[in-house]
């Protein structure tokens, strides 16, 4: 660990986003869950819910941080476990407490939920308090229920889809943050895109399952099924043209090929731009690092001993996320950036290519080709003439 003290002159954009784990438990028990079922038991030693002492201290840090960097808007993502387990009354109390303590800052709230508790009353609360909702749902029930189930083993997908309609049809549409779907390579990628369209899920992301060389995803046989899935999904998505849902992963890769730096953590986005605060006040780089058994950055610093611009140094974020030599010389680096940090862990460090290197490389190359082939022939010809 680095004991570097306060960064007097920041050389990076200041942090503007905190993930608050307001509830540490979940009413689901997904087989791939990085919190409960991937070898990390740190959740057991933390309080079930975030108390006001933690919330008040987080607000104090946000206010100090925003004043220091002249920021007037800050993002708080409410997360779990399952954040809605705090209950409606406590949820409203938390929102109001934060808004009051942080005034006059503009606080933008997001919430990532498994969607199983949503109802009309929740939709009203979320809309009234301007909380944008993202929902985790993995695809057709016959596949997704094998992995996303309640503690009694019952699948959750149809419950979620039924409840999702209450937020989607709400006049104020709190459902603006889209769906996150963990990839199941046994679903043909094109079918997954069709399923999103059929269910009117027009903002989504496809997540490569958490895992790495030291702790591969369940059923891992290598990257090939994921490569096939991604390429298949991309072809269908690209062919849908204007009718396609937004797929963040594809769109970010396209943007990267067009010269924009990817901000997505799954494409090597800067993890120093946000931090996670657990129910006990511990600050982490990202909760998904819990799939990296042996990484020592968990629960080492807290909101009582660290300001929001110190976590990058204290947790050695830049050192940890620095791409490896192979990535830096890779022709797909501009779009891939080494992929997602937890996919790079090998049991001792992160100085590696992604477990999904083959998949990322193939997708990035295909996307470049698709972009190039959609350019007017005159541009291609001009290039040839110029050459």
Q: Which of 7, 14, 16, 29 binds ligand SF4 (CB under 6 A)?
A: 29
Quick one: tokens of 31?
């087989």
Interface with ligand SF4, residue 338, by CB under 6 A: yes
Interface with ligand SF4, residue 357, by CB under 6 A: yes
Let me know: does 22 contact 48? Beta carbons within 8 Å.
Answer: no
Q: Which of 94, 247, 327, 367 binds ligand SF4 (CB under 6 A)?
A: 327
CB atoms within 10 A of CB 373: 9
Interface with ligand SF4, residue 199, by CB under 6 A: no
Q: Which of 19, 22, 28, 274 binds ligand SF4 (CB under 6 A)?
A: 28
Site for ligand SF4 in 115-174 (CB under 6 A): 136
Quick one: tokens of 172?
């104020």
Q: How many residues does the chain have?
A: 387
Interface with ligand SF4, residue 267, by CB under 6 A: no
Phi, psi of 241 (to 5 degrees): 55, -125
Interface with ligand SF4, residue 239, by CB under 6 A: no
**DSSP states along 120-160:** HHHHHHHHHTTEEEEEE--S-HHHHTTTSBBTTS-B-HHHH
Q: The dihedral of CA 241, 235, 33, 361: what is its sign?
A: negative
Q: Is the peptide bond before 104 cis (omega within 30 degrees of 0)?
A: yes
**Quick one: 23 or 99, whose CB is closer to ligand SF4?**
23
CB of 336 to ligand SF4, least distance (A): 3
**DSSP states along 243-254:** GPPEEHHHHHHH
Q: Which of 82, 138, 205, 309 binds ligand SF4 (CB under 6 A)?
A: 82
Closest CA to 283 of 312, 321, 263, 318: 312
**Quick one: 81 or 185, whose CB is closer to ligand SF4?**
81
CA–CA gap between residue 250 and residue 238 (Å, rounded): 9
Stretch that binds ligand SF4, among 42-50, 65-73, 75-83, 309-317 (CB under 6 A): 75-83
Interface with ligand SF4, residue 227, by CB under 6 A: no
Interface with ligand SF4, residue 114, by CB under 6 A: yes
Stretch that binds ligand SF4, among 94-102, 161-169, 274-282, 356-364 (CB under 6 A): 356-364
CB of 6 to ligand SF4, least distance (A): 33
Stretch that binds ligand SF4, among 137-145, 159-167, 286-294, 332-340 (CB under 6 A): 332-340
**Quick one: 194 or 358, whose CB is closer to ligand SF4?**
358
Identify the three-state secondary structure at position 48: coil
Let me know: does 356 contact 337? Beta carbons within 8 Å.
Answer: no
Q: Which of 15, 19, 22, 30 binds ligand SF4 (CB under 6 A)?
A: 30
**Quick one: 40 or 232, whose CB is closer to ligand SF4?**
40
* Residues contacting ligand SF4: total by CB under 6 A: 25
Interface with ligand SF4, residue 285, by CB under 6 A: no
Q: Which of 14, 16, 33, 370 binds ligand SF4 (CB under 6 A)?
A: 33
Interface with ligand SF4, residue 279, by CB under 6 A: no
Helices (H), the chain: 52-69, 88-102, 120-128, 141-144, 157-168, 189-198, 224-240, 248-257, 311-314, 317-321, 325-328, 333-336, 357-373, 377-386
Kindly list the distances between the CA atom of residue 78 and the CA atoms of 19, 55, 81, 354, 365, in Å, as whole numbers in the listed order.
Answer: 6, 12, 10, 28, 35
> Which residues bind to ligand SF4, rule: CB under 6 A?
26, 28-30, 33, 35-36, 80-82, 114, 136, 326-327, 330, 332-333, 336, 338-339, 353-354, 357, 360-361
């Amino acid at each position: 660990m680095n004991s570097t003290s306060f960064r007097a002159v920041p050389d990076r954009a200041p942090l503007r986003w905190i993930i608050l784990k307001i509830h540490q438990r979940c009413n689901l028990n997904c087989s791939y869950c990085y919190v409960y079922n991937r070898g990390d038991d740190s959740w057991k030693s933390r309080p079930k819910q975030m108390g006001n002492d933690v919330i008040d201290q987080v607000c104090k840090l946000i206010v100090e941080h925003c004043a220091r960097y002249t920021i007037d808007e800050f993002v708080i993502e409410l997360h779990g476990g399952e954040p809605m387990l705090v209950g409606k009354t406590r949820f409203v109390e938390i929102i109001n407490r934060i808004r009051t303590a942080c005034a006059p800052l503009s606080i933008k709230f997001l919430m990532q939920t498994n969607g199983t508790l949503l109802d009309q009353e929740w939709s009203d609360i979320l809309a009234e308090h301007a909380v944008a909702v993202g929902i985790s749902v993995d695809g057709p029930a016959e596949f997704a229920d094998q992995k996303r189930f309640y503690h009694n083993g019952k699948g959750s997908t149809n419950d979620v889809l039924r409840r999702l309609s209450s937020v989607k049809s709400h006049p104020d549409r709190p459902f603006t943050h889209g769906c996150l779907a963990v990839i199941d390579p046994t679903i043909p990628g094109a079918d997954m895109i069709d399923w999103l369209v059929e269910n009117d899920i027009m903002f989504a992301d496809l997540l490569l399952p958490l895992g790495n060389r030291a702790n591969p995803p369940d059923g891992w046989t290598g990257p090939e099924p994921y490569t096939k899935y991604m390429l298949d999904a991309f072809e269908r998505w690209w062919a849908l043209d204007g009718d396609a849902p937004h797929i963040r992963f594809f769109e970010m890769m396209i943007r990267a090929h067009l010269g924009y730096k990817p901000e997505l953590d799954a494409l090597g986005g800067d993890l120093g731009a946000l931090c996670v605060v657990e129910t006990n006040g511990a600050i982490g780089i990202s909760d998904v690092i819990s799939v990296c058994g042996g990484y020592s950055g968990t629960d080492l610093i807290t909101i009582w001993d660290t300001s929001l611009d110190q976590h990058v140094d204290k947790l050695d974020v830049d050192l940890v996320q620095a791409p490896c030599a192979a990535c830096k010389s890779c022709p797909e680096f501009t779009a891939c950036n080494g992929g997602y940090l937890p996919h790079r862990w090998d049991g001792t460090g992160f100085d590696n290519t992604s477990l999904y290197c083959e998949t990322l490389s193939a997708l990035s190359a295909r996307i470049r080709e698709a972009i190039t082939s959609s350019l007017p022939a005159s541009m291609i010809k001009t290039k040839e003439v110029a050459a």
